[in-house]
Amino acid sequence: MPFLEIRTRCADAIATALETEFGHRAELRLEVPPRRELGDLAWPGALPLAKVLRRAPREIAEWVLAAAAWPEGVQRVEVAGPGFLNIFLDRPRLLRQLLAHAPAEGGAGGPKTIVEHTNINPNKAAHIGHLRNAVLGDILVRSLRVLAVPVEVQNYIDDTGVQVADVVVGVLHLPEPELAAALGVEISRRDELVVTFLERLPGAEVPAASTRDFDDLCWEIYPRVTARYEADPDFAARRDEVLHAVEGGPGQVDRDQAEFLLRGAVIAGEPYPERAVACLAGEVATGNLRCHLATMARLGIAYDLLPHESDILHLGFWRQAFEMLKACGAVRIESEGKNAGCWVMSLAASPEFADLDDPDKILVRSNGTVTYTGKDIAYQLWKLGLLVGPDGRRLDFGYRSFARWTRPGPALPLRYGEEGTALVRTTSDQAEASPSGGFGAGARVYNVIDVRQSYPQRVVKEAVRVLGHAEAADSSTHFAYEMVALTPAAVRLIEQSSGHRFDLSDEDMGKAYIEMSGRRGIGVKADEFLDVLESAAEDAIVSRLGHGGEVADLADRARAIAVGALRYLMARQSRNRVLAFDFAEALAFEGDTGPYLQYSAVRAAKIFEKLAERRGEGRVDVDEAALLEGAAIDDELWDLVLQCARRHEVVAQAVAGLEFSLLAQHVHDLAQLFHKLYHGHPVVPEDDVELRRLRRAVFTVFVDEIRVLLEDLLGIPIPTEM
RNA sequence: CCGCCUGUAGCUCAGCGGGAAAGAGCAACGGACUUCUAAUCCGUAGGUCAGUGGUUCGAGUCCACUCAGGCGGGCCA
C-alpha cells in the first residue's frame, strides 16, 4: 500500500518537526485536498495550533515545512491559504509503485470476525427488503476480506418460530378450498393437498431459482393464514398446537413417515401426531432455506454456516445461558405484577436503559417458553466463545454438510451442488463433528439486523456485559439499517401485474412510501425483481446492438448487469435511510448506477484488447514501468492514479462507520474519472510511444483496481461486453 | 410521555474523527458517435444545506431548542 505508506511517513515527519521546533506532541492525520492544485496530501493542523503556540498559522506552517525531513516520494511542499501545508507527491514514483504491487494485496489482518446476515424467516420467499440485509452483510464481509480480516459468515435460521408454524397451520388447517387456491390446484381432500404440498419441496440440495418454487408457494399460503387468525379467533389455537409440537421435535420421524402419519390422521379424522407435525415444520423451514440460498446465489452471496434455532434449544444452549444469567443475578422470576410468572432481565442498573418506563425484559414467558431475545443471548454468547458448561468446556453444536458450492471468480457465478466449499448447518448431535473445525468463538461479531430490532439487540449486548464480558460486549456490533419500502407507484404496479388487491387506504397510498408486509403479502419478491432486472438488461443489450445479430452470452451479460444494478442500488444509499423502492429508478442503467461502473471496467479491458490486436502491446509491467521515471503526468491522469491508490483508506473508513455509501461514492468517482479520460486520452490511436506508455501504465493500474473494487469488494461482476 | 433516525437543487440521493469555491444522477435545454463500443463525454440552468440560537480562526458537519416525517419502548421477532 504505497499511498498509505507515504501518508504515514509525511505525518511522522510533521509530528517530529512539531516536537523538535515547538515541543508540541500531537497525533495527526493528513487529508487529501479537494482539488489537485492544492496538492495530494494536506495538513490543516497549523490553524488550530495558532492559539496554543501564540503564533500566526502561516508562520507555523512555514516553520514545519522547513524543519521537517520530508520522505522520499515527496516532490514539493507549499504553504497555502490561511496556513495549510500542501504536499505534492512524485507522480511517476507512486505510479511505478502501484504497478509493482499485486492488486489484491492485503492489510492488517487480525483476529476472527463473525458476520451474521440474511436471517430470513424460512416460511416464504425472500423479498427485496431481505436483499438489502444480505447485500449489506455481504459487502461488509467482502470489505473485511479486502482488509485481510478472517471472516466467518453465518445465516441464522429461525426454524422453530411462529412464522414457520403459521405455514404449517395453513397446510393442516386452512379450509380445503383456500389451501387448494394457494397451491394453485383443483379442490380435493386434505390428505391429497398435503401430498401436493410435500411434492413441491425442493428436490435438489439447492434448486435453480425461480418464481414458482416452494418458497413462492409458502408466500401464497402465509397471508391466508394470518388473515384467518384475524377473522376467526379459534383458528389461533391451531398455532399454539403446532408450536407445541415443534418444540417437542420430530424425534425419529422422517419425511416419508410424516406424510404417512398426516394422511392417516386426515382419513381417520384424528388429531395430527405431534412428531409428524414437527417434521413437517422442519421440512417447511429447510425447503424455504434451500430456495433462499438459490436466490442469494444469484447475487453471489454465500455462507459458511447455518446455525439453527432448533439446535440451540435441543442442545441446551439456552439452559446454560439461563444458568449463567441466574448465577450472576442478572435475571429474576416475578411473583406478582404484570410480568408475574416470567423470568425477566433487569436493565435498571444500566445507564443506557435508564430512560425506560419498564426496565425489565422478559426472557422466559409465564408458560415456560423462551423468547427470541433469550435464544439470541445464548447464540450471541456462543458466537463470542463465551458459552461455557459446568465442566468448564465450551458448548458447541454438531455439524453436518448442507450443500456444496463453488465460485470460480470473486463475484458471479456462484453455483451450488458442485464440488467446492462446504456450506455447513448445525445439528443437535454433538457427535457429528465440524468438517472444517472451529466455528464460532469470534473476537468480533457483527449482527446485520434492521433498525427496528435495536432494542432487543441492546438487550443481548447488555446480557453479555452483565455476565462479566464488557470487552466482548463492546466487540458485538448491531449493524442496523433502515427498511426497504415501496413507493405508492410500485404498489399500484404490483397490484396491476399480480391481480392481487391489497386494499390500502387512501391515506396509506398518499404516503411517501408503504411498508412491505409478508403477513399481508405486500411486497416485491427477490426472484421476481431479479427476473425483471435481467430481462430489462437483455432488452438494453439488444437495443444497443442495433440490427447486429446474435449475442452468444446474452444471458450471462444480462445477469451481470442486473446484479450490478441491484447491488449498487443497495450500496449507494446510506444505511439509516428508508429505501423507497421504485421500479423505474431501480431499472435505470444509466447515470449513477452499477452498469455505469461496469461499463468503465469493460471499456478499459477493451482498450487492452485492441492494443494487443493493433499494436502488439499490453499491460505495463514492472520492467517497463522503470521507463516512466520523470514522465510528465498531467492532472487528469494523476487524479485517476491517486484515486486508485486510496482503496485501503476508503474501505477502512467504510467499515469503521459501517457506511458503504462511501464505497459506492469512491468507486463511482473512480469510474467517472476514467470515463472522462477515455475521451481525452486515447491510447491505441496515440502514435507517441512515450505518451502511449504513460496512458497504458495509468490504465493498467485502473483495470486492476476497478476489478478489485467491483468484484472483490462490491460483489459486482464485470461482464465480458455490454 | 421517553429514546433513536431522517430533513441538502423540481425529483432520488452523496457529502463520516469541523477545513480550501456545497457535489452526483434523473428531469430540462444546447452540443460531441467514419473514433479504444455514446450504458459515455462536454456545456447551460437550478441551493437562505428545515428553522432559531450557540461553540470555533472556520459549521451542511459539533451543541441546545423548535418544526415536520419515520421507527422503537410486546409474555412478536
Supply the CATH number for residue A634's domain: 1.10.730.10
Exposure string of A36-53, with b = 16+ CB inside 10 Å and e = fewer, is eebbbbbbbbbbebbeeb
In a domain, A682, yes or no: yes
**Are A471 and A553 in a shared domain?**
no
The 10s digit of each residue's pLDDT in A37-78 is 999 999 999 998 888 888 889 999 999 999 999 999 999 999
Mean pLDDT by 10-residue block, N- to C-terminus, for chain A (722 residues)?
A: 92 93 84 94 91 88 94 95 94 95 62 97 96 98 95 96 95 96 95 96 93 95 93 89 91 95 95 96 97 98 97 94 94 90 86 73 91 96 95 93 94 92 92 78 97 95 94 96 94 88 86 90 94 95 77 92 98 96 94 97 97 95 93 94 95 96 97 95 94 96 97 97 92
- In a domain, residue A106? The reply is no
CA A644 to chain centre: 24
Helix (H) or strand (E) run with residue A362 in it: strand A360-364
Any bridge partners for residue A152, and if so which? A114
Which residues does residue A42 pair with via DSSP β-bridges, in sequence order? A31, A86
Domain end (from A562, A586, A610) = A586
Helix (H, G, I), strand (E, B) or coil at A262: helix
**Per-residue three-class SS string for A142-162:** HHHHHCCCCEEEECCECCCCH
Whole-prediction pTM: 0.96
Question: Per residue in A570-612, pLDDT tens?
Answer: 999 999 999 999 999 999 999 999 999 999 999 999 999 999 9
End-to-end CA distance of chain A: 32
| Å: A93 CA to B14 C1' | 32
Query: How many separate domains does chain A show?
Result: 5
Boundary of a domain, candidates A560, A586, A612: A586
- Residues A537, A463, single domain; the answer is no
d(CA A532, CA A529): 5
| Closest residue to B70 measured CA to C1′ | A578
Measuring alpha carbon to C1', the residue closest to nucleotide B73 is: A356
Answer yes or no: do A490 and A452 share one domain. Answer: no
**Residues A629, A578 share a domain:** no
Residues spanned by the domain of A450? 113-159+297-485
Residue A537 lies in a domain: yes
A274 shares its domain with A410? no
Model pLDDT, residue A69: 96
| ipTM rounded to 2 decimals | 0.96
On whether residue A105 sits in a domain, the answer given is: no
Contact at 8 Å (CB) between A434 and A399?
yes
The nucleotides of chain B lying under 7 Å from a protein CB are 1-6, 12-17, 19-21, 24-26, 35-42, 57-58, 69-77
Tell whether A261 and A219 lie within a shared domain.
Answer: yes
Same domain, yes or no: A460 and A370: yes
Q: Do A391 and A437 reside in the same domain of the chain?
A: yes
* Cα A525 from Cα A211, distance rounded (Å): 8
What number of residues does chain A have?
Answer: 722
The whole-angstrom separation of Cα A418 and Cα A273 is: 37
Domain-located, residue A396? yes
Protein residue closest to B36, using CA and C1':
A607
Give me the pLDDT at residue A359, please: 76
What does the alpha-carbon distance between residue A383 and residue A396 come to, in Å, rounded to a whole number? 10
Q: Strand pairing of A113-116 and A444-450?
A: parallel
Spell out the residues 6+ positions from residue A241 whose beta carbon is closer than 8 angstroms to its own.
A277
- The integer distance in angstroms from the CA atom of A357 to the C1' atom of B2 is 8
Nearest-5° Cα angle at A498, A492 to A500:
75
pLDDT of residue A437: 65
| Cα–Cα distance measured from residue A469 to residue A465, given in angstroms and rounded to the nearest whole number | 5
Q: Which nucleotide is nearest to A676 (CA to C1')?
A: B41
Angstrom distance, A355 CA to B65 C1': 20
- Is residue A426 assigned to a domain? yes
* Rounded distance between C-alpha atoms, residue A35 and residue A41, angstroms: 10
Q: Which nucleotide is nearest to A721 (CA to C1')?
A: B37
Say yes or no: A216 and A272 in one domain.
yes
Nearest nucleotide over every DNA/RNA strand to the A340 CA, judged by C1'? B75
Give the per-residue pLDDT at A469. Answer: 95
Coil, helix or strand at residue A178: helix
Q: What is the CATH number of the domain that holds A19?
A: 3.30.1360.70
**Distance measured from the CA of protein residue A149 to the C1' of nucleotide B16, in angstroms:** 22
Q: What is the pLDDT of residues A405-451, one digit of tens each?
A: 999 999 999 999 988 899 999 999 888 876 666 899 999 999 999 99
